[in-house]
Amino acid sequence: MSEGQTFAPDADRLEAIARATIAKLPAEFAAHIGDVVLRIEDFADDETLAEMGIENPFELTGLYTGRPIGEKSVDLSGALPDMIHLYRRAILDEWVETGVSIEALVAHVVIHEIGHHFGLSDADMHALEEMAVD
């Protein structure tokens, strides 16, 4: 599937793109994201949207849930695993609106969410994205 793709990719395709993006990250990042769970859902649930103050579910393409690496502690054993949520329908809507390739768009969302895992600044996230996107 290429940039000229015209049909909506399914959840498996988005996950494959996300995993390919993660595989391209520098080793120092990859070593710390092996335990992060990747979830593909059509939309964020109502509770998540309410917590974030978002009314339109198409406005949220991804979300990191968990504690950034610098905030980890042995006191948190038993906590839910860190997760990156990708919201397929919102991503597809942005894909159609922007004309950006689905690969580049998914990579952007994944790297932004990984950036939250590491507590990175927006500038650091952009630099990481440049490394991982062809």
DSSP string, 23-75: HTS-HHHHTT-TT-EEEEESS--HHHHHHHT-S-GGG--EEEES--GGG--GG
Instruction: Concatenate the DSSP letters of all residues of 2-17 into one string.
Output: -TT--S---HHHHHHH
pLDDT, residue 10, reads 95
What is the pTM (predicted TM-score) of this model? 0.81
> For the chain, which domains are there?
11-69+77-132 (3.30.2010.20)
Q: What is the pLDDT of residues 35-72, one digit of tens each?
A: 788 999 999 999 999 999 999 999 999 998 886 665 55
**Which residue, among 122, 114, 124, 116, has the nearest Cα to 71 in the 3D structure?**
116
Give residue-wise pLDDT tens across range 69-92.
655 555 555 567 788 999 999 999
Determine the Cα–Cα distance for residues 51 and 97; give it in Å rounded to an integer.
26
**What is the predicted pLDDT for the residue at 17?**
94
